[in-house]
Amino acid sequence: MSLKGKVHKYGTNIDTDAIIPARYLNMHEAAELAEHCMEDIDEEFVKRVQAGDIVVADTNFGCGSSREHAPLALKGSGISCVIAKSFARIFFRNAINTGLPLLECEEAADNIEAGDAVEVDLAGGRIINHSSGKTFTAKPYPEFMMQIIAEGGLVEHTKKKASGAR
Amino acid sequence: MTLAEKILAAHCGKDRVSPGEFINVKTDLVLSNDITAPIAIKEFNKLGLGKVFDPQKIVMVPDHFCPNKDIQSAQQAKLMREFAREHKIIYFEVGEMGIEHVILPEKGLVVPGDVVVGADSHTDTYGALAAFATGMGSTDIAIAMATGEIWMKVPPTIKFVFHGKPGKWVGGKDFILYTIGRIGVDGALYSVMEFTGDAMEALSMDNRFTMSNMAIEAGGKAGIFAVDAKTKAYLKGRTSRKYIEYRSDPDAAYASIIEYDASQIEPQVAFPHLPSNTKPISQVGNIAIDQVVIGSCTNGRLDDIRLAARVIKGKKVNAGLRCIVIPGSQKVYLDALKEGLIEIFIKAGAAVSTPTCGPCLGGYMGILAAGEKCVSTTNRNFVGRMGHVKSEIYLANPAVAAASAVLGRIAGPEELA
Ligand code: SF4
């Protein structure tokens, strides 16, 4: 699958309260949450973002709470994937489970700027920065996780397992 | 193997596990709350299995926006309550509830050697009881509710050793803030933090809960203590469940071993906007504040309330400042009432609330306006966490919070003497 969009760039330790402030956790639909995505650190994000866009960040993206509302808000905003140097543990699980692809790649995070046009080939982990012409390769997912992703997330994976056991 | 590895091995039917390995783990307790349960229930229903794996191993707590703060929160709480009733799972209604991480240990729902997963990042709190407890998202929790199992990657363990006798006003909150200040908010990413040393043995259970609670603030997957006499005393009378005392082998492989001299650690204050942004109290300077919050799953237990009351007793909350005290559970509230602590707070001019997460995550009961500063015993000081994006949160222990409430600026309790 190939993903393509403009880049929204952020720094280190982007926490889940920044991605979706807790005051909106009285809702849980992706579309509702998307209306407030990133608003505390980037008021313009909601107005600027377009379907397919990509978030690029430094280390420890998604740290803080376990709220699945965070990947849901990003997905609801149209974000097609997140590229960062590293991800916080729970956010990583949640993104895989909700079908938001994440790519871990130091080089890409250092060499992509806000507004760049970037294309990502998920299967090979290839990241192409069309604005600079540079390409990068993300760390591959462990095989176990690839399987979950290929099967369409943890719920589908579990369903398949359950029906296989029957 | 380390303590954490032994628990995980025992829960996936293996003799040994090592860091990096993917395993399927059996869960002893599966937790969610009024903001994470709605999504978990939705995902659970997608599975189409119709029933949970074991109603007695699933618990839901309405604590974040409960007692309901608005219509939307009421809808979410209702969704959770109805699911809990239908599936006959463990549920604490307003009136008997408290903050999830305060009441689960209090009610004896967690014992050493358990694997606990919760749709709340501070599920790591139960590591203080030598359980492997970790936070996950709602979909993970839906799977665990349905199957009683969840996948995990075996984490490496970092051992922390605290030597020496700490100062009078130094407790679990200061040790963990100090640690996060040293290693950073991703210093223990994907790892277990194992807390050891004579200074840890001397800590009360309530102080240990505080430390395990904040392991996630260093990116940790769990924050764990081994069982000792204090653990056993805590469990006595709360549970009749049998438990296994796992212990790290003397030759266990640690990712690293980090040693600190507890006698050199001062009360710590984490400045905005990260828990790692710490300073010892002596270097804080003159920072005027508008609000103090004493409570949360980090510092809302009886030890914490006692400590704050001891500092504030006979004094007055500074004019123009709000001090809000939120006991972590109905039991903590009642015990504090019996000990006369609630009277101390009210006479000092503090507000005392029914148990709730409330202001900790910017829900209600103490939201900050633009430009306001708050000293809080909670665990996160992210931008906008407690209200307006231009407000500031300073994390501290309950003694520092109480002293700051009296003096109107961030201050240590020795300044009151
Ligand atoms: S008290 Fe705060 S940190 Fe603890 S569970 Fe509630 S919102 Fe989360």
How is residue B23 annotated by DSSP? E
Last residue of a domain, one of B242, B260, B278: B260
How far, in Å, is the centroid of ligand 1 from the Cα of B220? 17
Cβ <8 Å between A18 and B380: no
From residue B372, how far is each of B328, B363, B386, B391 by CA, in Å? 24, 16, 10, 5
How far, in Å, is the centroid of ligand 1 from the Cα of B360? 6
Cβ <8 Å between B46 and A155: yes
Nearest CA to ligand 1 atom 5: B297
Cβ <8 Å between A66 and B136: yes
Which residue from A minimizes the CA distance to B22? Answer: A144
Query: Across-strand partners of A6?
Result: A117
Sheet holding A102-104, edge to edge: A102-104, A81-84, A54-57, A2-9, A117-121, A126-129, A135-137
Last residue of a domain, one of B260, B294, B314: B260
User: Same structural domain for residues B70 and B216?
Assistant: yes
Which residue from B minimizes the CA distance to A39? Answer: B389
Amino acid, res. B90: I
Q: Ligand 1 pocket, B36 CB below 6 A?
A: no
Instruction: Return d(Cα B309, Cα B312) in angstroms, integer.
Output: 5
User: Same structural domain for residues B339 and B198?
Assistant: no
User: Same structural domain for residues B11 and B56?
Assistant: yes
A86 interaction partners in chain B (CB closer than 8 Å) = 186, 189
A154 interaction partners in chain B (CB closer than 8 Å) = 139-140, 143
A72 interaction partners in chain B (CB closer than 8 Å) = 39
Distance of CA B381 to the CA centre of its chain: 14
Do B243 and B111 meet the contact criterion of CB atoms below 8 Å apart? yes
A97 interaction partners in chain B (CB closer than 8 Å) = 137, 139-140
Q: Ligand 1 pocket, B297 CB below 6 A?
A: yes
The length of chain B in residues reads 417
B144 burial level (CB within 10 Å; 0-12, 13-18, 19+) = buried
Percentage of chain B exceeding pLDDT 70:
100
User: What is the distance in angstroms between the Cα of A47 and the nearest Cα belonging to chain B?
Assistant: 19
Q: Pick A68's closest partner by Cβ from B138, B382, B385.
A: B138
What pLDDT is attached to residue A151?
86
Q: What letters, b where the CB count within 10 A reaches 16 and e where it falls short, cover B164-196?
A: eebeebbbbbbbbbbbbbebbbbbbbbbbbbbb
Query: Across-strand partners of A81?
Result: A54
User: Same structural domain for residues B253 and B309?
Assistant: no
Do A67 and A98 meet the contact criterion of CB atoms below 8 Å apart? no
From residue A159, how far is each of A17, A47, B144, B403 by CA, in Å? 32, 38, 13, 55
User: Same structural domain for residues B346 and B403?
Assistant: yes
- Low-confidence residues of chain B, pLDDT below 70? none
Do B273 and B366 meet the contact criterion of CB atoms below 8 Å apart? no
User: Same structural domain for residues B24 and B100?
Assistant: yes
Count of structural domains, chain B: 2
Instruction: Return d(Cα B195, Cα B345) in angstroms, integer.
Output: 33
Size of interface A-B (CB pairs under 8 A): 132
Q: What is the pLDDT along chain A (166 residues), one digit of tens a residue?
A: 689 999 999 999 999 999 999 999 999 999 999 999 999 999 999 999 999 999 999 999 999 999 999 999 999 999 999 999 999 999 999 999 998 999 999 999 999 999 999 999 988 899 999 999 999 999 988 888 888 888 888 999 999 888 876 5
How far, in Å, is the centroid of ligand 1 from the Cα of B20? 29
- Any residues with CB less than 8 A from the CB of A69 and at least 6 apart, and which? A16, A20, A24, A25, A28, A33, B35, B39
Last residue of a domain, one of B260, B283, B312: B260
> What's the number of CA atoms in the CB half-sphere (13 Å) around residue B279?
13
Query: Across-strand partners of B279?
Result: B269
What pLDDT is attached to residue B244?
97
A160 interaction partners in chain B (CB closer than 8 Å) = none
User: Same structural domain for residues B236 and B273?
Assistant: no
What pLDDT is attached to residue B260?
98
Instruction: Return d(Cα B294, Cα B406) in angstroms, integer.
Output: 13
Q: Pick A155's closest partner by Cβ from B139, B221, B361.
A: B139
DSSP B313-360: TT--PPTT-EEEE--SBHHHHHHHHHTTHHHHHHHHT-EE--S--GGG
User: What CATH number has the domain bearing residue B326?
Assistant: 3.30.499.10
Query: Across-strand partners of A126?
Result: A121, A137
Apex B16 CA angle, B10 and B20, nearest 5: 105
User: Same structural domain for residues B100 and B232?
Assistant: yes
User: Same structural domain for residues B81 and B208?
Assistant: yes
Could you list the beta-strand ranges (E) of B245-333: 256-261, 268-270, 278-280, 291-294, 322-325
What pLDDT is attached to residue A150?
81
Which ipTM score applies to this complex? 0.92
What pLDDT is attached to residue A1?
67
Query: Across-strand partners of B288?
Result: B409
Structural domain boundaries, residue B115: 3-260
Apex B173 CA angle, B171 and B179, nearest 5: 105
From residue A53, how far is each of A3, A46, A76, B333 by CA, in Å? 8, 12, 12, 49
Cβ <8 Å between A68 and B380: no
Q: Ligand 1 pocket, B104 CB below 6 A?
A: no
Instruction: Return d(Cα B310, Cα B109) in angstroms, integer.
Output: 30
User: Same structural domain for residues B361 and B317?
Assistant: yes
User: Same structural domain for residues B116 and B191?
Assistant: yes
H or E segment to which residue B403 belongs: helix B398-407
User: Same structural domain for residues B34 and B143?
Assistant: yes
